[in-house]
Amino acid sequence: MFHKEGYKIILISTILLLIAIFAIDEFIEIGWLRMSISTVFIIFYILVLQFFRNPKRNTKLNDNHILSPVDGKVVVIEEVFESEFFKDKRLQVSIFMSPLNVHVTRYPMSGNVVYSKYHPGKYLVAWHPKASTENERTTIVVKNNTFGEILYRQIAGAVAKRIVNYAKVDDNAIQGTDAGFIKFGSRVDLFFPLNTKINVTLDQKVKGGEEIIASL
């Protein structure tokens, strides 16, 4: 199953692949060269399909858990000052997504969307310390009666040129459901109260909609 954000690109890629295969077969007579060029186009097409895949996840709804919003690797766990919304110290957990990861963003918890804002910005590599505040990004805050307010931030990377965010203020967020998409390499930051129990470690690989990031 593919994400709806990829339908147009997949269609265009399919047409281009068919045209390329026809042209290669029509105009290139050297067998090994024809095979090599065809293989390059097919590999590129497979990578496009892989990037926009949207696998079904077995999300177990639990108000005492914060689930990972994305697939990727934990690259930051630290206490920071969150300057946009909370304006105080928070625990930050950052997850880096390579171009090979699933890039669907899912709601980390159920609740009400109380804040959603897009920020234009730079395209520093996603693991750069300043990416969280200087890159193109969206900031979303979800609130419920168990955790209070939890902020997550979609951040574009050096390759990503478009962030898709479905969360709007007053929306009812359901844990594990589709909240957006980031095209190509990128990262997501989460900000928790200082007393939150973090259930992941640095360099741990996590799966969106299933992995428990934090708990009470």
Continuous segment of H or E residues that includes residue 13: helix 7-27
Q: 44 phi and psi, to 5 degrees?
A: -60, -40
Tokens of 56: 């079904």
- Reading the block at residue 196, the tokens are 């939150």
Please indicate whether residue 186 is annotated as part of the active site: yes
132 exposure class (CB count in 10 Å sphere: 0-12, 13-18, 19+): buried
Q: How far apart are CA 123 and CA 120, in angstroms?
A: 10
Looking at the DSSP assignment, which residues form a beta bridge with residue 143? 112, 149
Sequence-distant (6+) residues with CB within 8 A of 40 are none
Which residues, in sequence order, are CB contacts of 72 under 8 Å at separation 6+? Answer: 95, 96, 97, 98, 101, 187, 188, 205, 206
Question: Among residues 13, 110, 116, 186, which one is catalytic?
Answer: 186
3-state secondary structure (DSSP) of residue 178: strand
Q: What are the phi and psi torsion angles at 55 (to 5°)?
A: -70, 150
The tokens describing 140, both together, are 């979303």
- Catalytically active residues, by annotation: 186
